Amino acid sequence: MAKSAPHPMSQEFSRHRLTRLLWSLVLLGLFTSGGMTSYVAWRLAGIETRNTENHLTQQTMQLSLEQFRRLASESNSLTDALLRPPGTELPSSENAPLAALDAAVRAARQHGDDRLPLDALSEQVAQMKTLWAQAVQWRAAYPPVAQEAIGRDGAQARATLLADAARLTASGQQLLDALGVVAAEQIAAGHRQSDAALDNALTRLALLAGTVALAFLGLGVLISTHIRRQFVRLADLQQDNALLLNSAGDGVIGLTAEGRLRFINPAAAQMLGVPAGQMVGQPVSAVWQPADDDATPVAELGRSTERIVNRHCRLKRRGGTPLIVDYSALPMFHEGRHAGAVLTFRDISEAEATKAALLESEQKFRDLSEKSLVGIYIIQKGYFTYVNPHFANIFGYTREEIEGRLGPQDLAHPDDFEQVQRNIDKRLRGDVHSIDYRIRCRRKDGTLIHVELLGSATQYGGEPAIIGTLVDITERTRAETRVQYQAFHDSLTDLPNRLLCHDRLEQALKTARRLHQRVAVLFLDLDRFKHVNDSLGHPVGDALLVAVAGRLLHAVRQSDTVARLGGDEFILVLEAIDDHHTPAAIAQKIQHALSEPIQLDDQELIVTTSIGISLFPDDGEDAQTLIKNADAAMYQAKRGGRSTYAFYSPELTLTSTNWLSLESALRRAVPRGELYLDYQPQFDLNDARLIGAEALLRWRHPERGLIPPAEFIPLAEETGLILEIGEWVLNEACRQLAEWRDRGLTPPRLAVNLSRVQLARSDLLGTVTAALGAHRIEPHQLELEITEHCIMEHAEASTRVLHALRERGIRVAIDDFGTGYSSLACLKQLPIDCLKIDRSFIADIPQDTSNQAIVKAIIALGQLMQLDIVAEGVERDEQRHFLRDNGCHSAQGYLLGHPVAPATLEAMFAAGSPATSPAKRS
Ligand SMILES: Nc1nc2c(ncn2[C@@H]2O[C@H](COP(=O)(O)O[C@H]3[C@@H](O)[C@H](n4cnc5c(=O)[nH]c(N)nc54)O[C@@H]3COP(=O)(O)O)[C@@H](O)[C@H]2O)c(=O)[nH]1
C-alpha cells in the first residue's frame, strides 16, 4: 500500500479551533465573574449609603432634640431676656435654636418619615418664632410700658411661655423619643437590609460561581468529548483518506514544497507506470514526465501556491507510452506555511481520442451540411431552427433571416402549405417515420420554385423536431413538365398525341357510361398528303399539317379532343353527342373547312381528307376498339373515293378479319401457283397498232376465287410479301417474253408495275437484271411502271435507282401521272421514257374542261420532254378522239382491250386487232 498521512488540513483545523474555544471560555468566565463582583460591590455600596443616611438622620434628630432641649432651657432665658428692661440688648444668638429646629424639621421631612410629628413640630417652631418676634416688638415698641406690661403681663407671658416651653420640651422629648425609635428602627432595618443584601449578593455570587463552575465543568466535559470525538473523527478521516486515496480511480500525488513525492496513490502509480511504494521522497519528475510537445512546468507543481484546475497535460509513462491527463493542483498549508501541493489527475487519453474522433466526426458532418449541395433544415415548434447555407441560398435569404424567424408557412406556396403541415403533423405523431414529397415554394424575391422535401421526426433538447433535406427541383420539374408535355403532345402541331388521345377517350367513355351518353371517334387521313410532302418538301408538308390542325380545332367544340396520331392521321373525340347525325355534320364541317385553300408562303394548297367514324357504345366499348373501327371506316371512306366520310359497320371488321386470313393465304399463293399475269394491250391511237402490253397481277384464291390486285397488293405491301411477289412478277413477265420470243413471235414492249416497297427496299436493279438475264430478254423490251406518288415519296432514292435501270437500257414509265404533284424541276431530273396519264383525268373527258386542260398540259409536257405518252382508262370513243386530236398517240383501256391472258394477247398479235373482253382462264 502507498504511504498515506493524516489529513494535514484537518489536524491543523482542530488545534486552532480548540485553542480558540478555550480562550473564549476563559474570557467568558472572567467577564462573568467581573460582572458578578461589580454587581455585589454595587449592591453593598447602596446599602452602606442608606445606612449612612440613616445615621445622619438619626444624628440630625439627636441634634434637633438637643436644640429642643436648648430651646426649653433657653425659654427661661428668652423670657428673661424679654423681661429685661428696654434698652438692654437681646443676645444675638437668641434665634439659633429656632434655626437648628428648622433644620431638623426640614431634614426629617427630607427623609420623609411619616411617623414623626413634623407638622406639629413645625407649628410649634412657628409659634416660638412668633413669640420671639412679639418679645422683640414689645421691647422695641413699648419701652416705657414694657416694664409694666412685662411686669403685668410678663408673669403671665412668662408662665405661658414656660408652659409652652415645657410643652415644647415635652413634645420635643416625645419627638426625640419617637425619632430615636424611628432612627433605631431604621438603623436596625438598615443593618438588616445590608445584611440581607449582602447575604443575598453573596448567595447569588455563590450560586453564580457554582453555576459558572458547573458551566465550566460541563463545558470541560463537552470540550473533552468534542476533542475526543474530533480525534476519533480525525483517525477515521485518516483511515477514510487512506481508503479514499487507495481506492480512488483518479491519481493523487502529494508533493512537498521542494517538489518531492510525499505520497502517491495506487491509481497514480498505475497510470504513470511506476511502483507506488518506492517513489515517496523522489522528485516529482521521476514520475511526472511531460511529453516532448508538452510545456507543463513539472518542478513548479510542488512550489506553486496557486490552485490549478482541470489542465490538460501530455505525459510519458515510464516506458514511453503516451498519456493525456486532466490534472488539478491544490496547494497545501501547514500552520499557515506552504507545505507543497496535492496533484489529482485522471487518464483522459481515451476520452481525448474519443473527443478527437467526435470532433472530426462533427467536423465531417458540419462540412457535409455546410458544403452540401442540398438544403438541410431542422424545424422545431414551427420554425426553422437550423438551415444550411445551401438551403438559405435556394430561398434567397441569409441564414440569420431564416433561423428562428421563418417557418414552413413563410416559404411554402399557400396552396401547398396544408400538405406540408399535414406531413409534419404525421411525422410528429409518428404515423410515418419519413416522408418525401414535392411542393411549390416562394423565394424571398417572390419567384416560384419547386422543391423536393425529405423529412424525418427526431428530438433535440427534449423537443420534437423535423430534420430533413430539400432539393431545388425547379429546373428538373420544368424539364419533366416539358418532357411530360412532349410525351403527350405532338411536337409539330401541339395537339395531343396518340397516348393522350387514348387517355382522353377513356375519360370521355367513363363519363359517357355514367351519364349514358354517346361518344364519336373520327379518324381523319389527309388524301395524298405524302405527295405534298414529297413534292413540295417536308417544311411545306409540316406547315400544311399545322394549318390543318388549326382548322380542325376551329371546327369542333373546346371540350372535344383533336389529336394527331402521326403522319397525316388525326383523331377527333366528340363527347356527349345525340346521334350519328352530329358526327356526320362535324365530318362535313371539317371537309368544308379544309376545302378552303391553305396559303403557305407563296403556295396555295387544297387538301381533302377521308374520315372514318365509330360510335360509343354501338361500335366499341373501349378506346382501342373505337379507334381501330374508326380507322377501318376511314379506309372504307378512302376506298369510296376519298374526300368523304364513312361510318363504321361490322362488315368492315369482317373485311379486316378477312385480311388476316388473306395474308396467310397470300403467303402460300406463290408456292401454290395461285398467282398469274394478265396482259392489257396498249395501242397506237393513230393506226390501232398493238405496241405493247401491261402485265397485271392476278390471284385466284382456291376458295374465294379471283381476288382483285387493289385488294391484295396493299396487303402484300403492308406485310412485305410484295418483294417476293414482285420478283415473281418480273420473272414471270420475262419468262412470258422469252416464251413468245422462243415461239417466233415478236413480243411487244411489256410494262411491269413496281411497288413503292420494291423501289425502296429491295435490290431492284439486281432483281431486274437477274430476271432479264435468266430469260435472255433485251432490257429495252421491259418497261417498269412506277407511280408518280412512289417516285415523289422517295425522290432521291428513286432517281438513283431509275438512273441505274436506265443505264441498263430498261425503260421507265411514270404511272398515274398528274396525281403526285411532281414538279417540273423534279421531273427534269428523272430518267424516264414514258408518262402514263392517270385514268381519273380521262374519265370525264371531254365533259370536264379542267381534266381536259390537265390532259392537254400533260401531253404538252411529254412532248416537250420528248417522252412517250400513254393515256389510261380509255373507255369511250370520244376519249380516244380527244386524246388523239390533242397529240396523245398511245392508250390503253377497256375500249381498246381488257387485261387478257397471254394466249389472247398472242391472238391479238396475230390478228393485229384489239381484244374487247377480259381474258377468261380455266
Ligand atoms: N405493284 C403491282 N401493282 C399491280 C400489279 N398488277 C396490277 N397492279 C396494280 O393494281 C391496281 C389494280 O389493277 P387492276 O385491277 O388490274 O386494274 C388495272 C386495270 O384493270 C384497270 N383498267 C385498265 N383499263 C381500264 C379502264 O378503261 N377502266 C377502268 N376502270 N379500269 C381500267 O386499271 C388498272 C391498271 O392501272 P395502272 O396500273 O395504273 O395502269 C393498279 O393500280 C395496278 O397498277 C403488279 O403486278 N404489281
Q: Yes or no: say if 589 and 572 are a contact pair by the CB < 8 Å rule.
A: no
- The answer to whether the beta carbons of residues 105 and 59 sit under 8 Å apart is no
- Ligand 1 centroid – CA 268 distance (Å): 116
The C-alpha cell of 880 is what?
380516244
Mean pLDDT, the chain, integer: 81
Query: Ligand 1, atom 19: nearest CA belongs to which residue?
Result: 899
Which residues 6+ apart lie within 8 Å of 485 measured at CB?
none
Cell of 554: 376551329
Report how far ligand 1's centroid is from the alpha carbon of 820 (Å). 17
Atom 2 of ligand 1: nearest residue by CA position = 753
DSSP line for 263-289: EE-HHHHHHHT--GGGTTTSBGGGT-E
Q: What per-residue confidence (pLDDT) applies to 65?
A: 56
**Ligand 1 center to 853 CA (angstroms):** 24
Distance 899 CA to ligand 1 centre (A): 9
Write the residue with the smallest CA distance to atom 35 of ligand 1: 696
Percent of the chain with pLDDT over 90: 42
Closest protein CA for atom 47 of ligand 1: 753
Contact by Cβ (8 Å): 2, 245: yes
Ligand 1 atom, smallest distance to 698 CA: 6
For atom 36 of ligand 1, the residue with the nearest CA is 872
Q: In angstroms, what is the span from residue 696 Cα to ligand 1's centroid?
A: 6
Q: Supply 255's cell numbers.
A: 508533493
Mutate to test the pocket of ligand 1, among 713, 722, 875 (most ligand atoms within 8 A of CB): 713
Ligand 1 pocket list (CB less than 6 A)? 680, 694, 696-697, 708-710, 713, 729, 753-755, 815-816, 839, 872-875, 892-894, 899
- How far is the C-alpha of 526 from the C-alpha of 537, rounded, in Å? 16
899-913: pLDDT as tens digits:
999 999 988 887 764
For residues 278 and 269, what is the distance between their CA atoms, to the nearest angstrom? 10
How distant, in Å, are the alpha carbons of 197, 486, 560, 576, 642 from that of 501? 135, 13, 11, 17, 24
Nearest CA to ligand 1 atom 14: 709
Atom of ligand 1 nearest to the CA of 677: 46
For ligand 1, atom 9: residue with the closest CA: 709
| Ligand 1 atom 3, closest CA | 753
d(CA 676, CA 106): 191
Q: Looking at this protein, which amino acid is placed at residue 540?
A: V
Confidence at 2, pLDDT banded by 50, 70, 90: very low
Q: Give the sheet arrangement for strand 463-472, strand by strand.
A: 383-387, 375-380, 463-472, 448-460, 434-442
Find the DSSP H helices in 462-610: 474-488, 498-515, 529-536, 538-555, 581-595
Residues 26-63 pLDDT 10s = 676 666 666 666 665 565 555 555 555 555 555 555 55
Cis peptide upstream of residue 617 (ω within 30 degrees of 0)? yes
Output the pLDDT for position 534: 73
Which among 791, 781, 711 has a CA at the least distance from the CA of 754? Answer: 791
pLDDT digits (tens, 9 = 90+) for 534-589: 778 889 999 999 999 999 999 999 989 999 999 999 999 999 998 888 999 999 99
Residue 1 confidence class, pLDDT cut points 50, 70, 90: very low
Cα→Cα distances 720→429, 673, 761, 767, 813, Å: 66, 19, 10, 16, 23
Lowest-confidence range among 55-59, 119-123, 739-743, 793-797?
55-59
pLDDT of res. 96: 60
| Ligand 1 centroid distance, CA of 174 (Å) | 197
Q: Whose CA is nearest to atom 24 of ligand 1?
A: 893
Ligand 1 center–CA 646 separation, angstroms: 25
Mean pLDDT of 13-28: 63
Q: Which atom of ligand 1 is nearest to the CA of 899?
A: 20
Torsion sign across C-alpha atoms 909, 911, 913, 918: negative
* C-alpha of residue 774 to centroid of ligand 1, in Å: 26
Question: What is the distance of C-alpha 119 from the center of its chain?
Answer: 115
CA of 371 to the centre of ligand 1 (A): 77
Closest protein CA for atom 21 of ligand 1? 873
Closest-CA residue, ligand 1 atom 12, reads 710
3-class SS at 256? Answer: coil
CB neighbour burial string for 519-542, b if at least 16 within 10 angstroms, e if fewer: bbbbbbbbbbbbbbbbbbeeebbe
Cα(671) to centroid of ligand 1, in Å?
A: 23
ipTM: 0.94
Tell me how far apart the alpha carbons of residues 548 and 691 are, in angstroms, rounded to a whole number: 46
Whole-number pLDDT of residue 384: 96
Strand partners, 784: 752, 812
Is residue 632 within 8 Å of residue 648, measured between CB atoms? yes
Ligand 1 pocket check: which of 696, 785, 895 to mutate, most ligand atoms within 8 Å of Cβ? Answer: 696
Whole-angstrom distance between the N-terminal and C-terminal Cα of the chain? Answer: 133
C-alpha cell belonging to residue 883:
386524246
Cβ neighbors of 760 (< 8 A, separation 6 or more) are 793, 794, 797
Whether residue 342 is predicted with pLDDT greater than 80 in this model: the reply is yes
Atom of ligand 1 nearest to the CA of 680: 23
Please identify, by atom number, the ligand 1 atom nearest to the C-alpha of residue 755: 1
Q: Distance from the CA of 697 to the center of ligand 1, in angstroms? A: 9
Q: pLDDT of 498-517, one tens digit each?
A: 999 999 999 999 999 999 99
Element (H, E) at 253: strand 251-255
* Number of CB atoms found within 10 A of residue 224's CB: 10
Q: Which atom of ligand 1 is nearest to the CA of 752?
A: 46
Strands (E), 773-906: 782-787, 811-817, 834-837, 868-871, 890-891
Q: What are the C-alpha distances in Å from 386 to residues 378, 381, 459?
A: 5, 12, 13
Mean pLDDT of 399-426: 92
Instruction: Report pLDDT digits (tens) over 839-857.
Output: 999 998 988 888 999 999 9
Instruction: Return the number of other C-beta atoms located less than 10 Å from residue 680's C-beta.
Output: 23
Task: Check whether the bond before 846 is cis (ω within 30° of 0).
Answer: yes
Q: Is 80 exceeded by the pLDDT of residue 870? A: yes
pTM exceeds 0.90:
no
Strand partners, 614: 521
Q: How confident is the model at residue 828 (pLDDT cuts 50, 70, 90)?
A: confident
Q: Which atom of ligand 1 is nearest to the CA of 678?
A: 16
Report the relative pairing of strands 609-616 and 890-891 from DSSP bridges.
Answer: unpaired
873 C-alpha to center of ligand 1: Å? 9
CA of 727 to the centre of ligand 1 (A): 18
How far, in whole angstroms, is CA 250 from its chain's centroid? 46
Per-residue pLDDT at 714: 81
**pLDDT of 897 higher than 90:** yes
Pick the closest to residue 300 from 331, 272, 324, 273 (CA basis).
331
Nearest of 578, 585, 655, 576 to residue 613 by alpha carbon: 585
Beta-carbon neighbour count of residue 882 at 10 Å? 20
Q: What local confidence, expressed as pLDDT, does residue 913 receive?
A: 47
Label residue 242 by pLDDT band (50, 70, 90).
confident
State in Å: Cα 837 to ligand 1 middle.
13
Strand runs labelled E in 652-738: 675-684, 690-701, 705-707
The residue nearest atom 20 of ligand 1, judged by CA position, is 899
Query: CA torsion 911→917→918→920, rounded to 10°?
Result: -80
3 state SS of 668: helix
Q: In what order do the strands lie in the sheet with 645-647?
A: 561-566, 569-577, 518-526, 609-616, 645-647
Q: What is the DSSP letter of 232?
A: H
Predicted confidence at residue 40, as pLDDT, reads: 56
What percent of the chain is helix, strand and coil (3-state, nearest 5)? 55, 20, 25
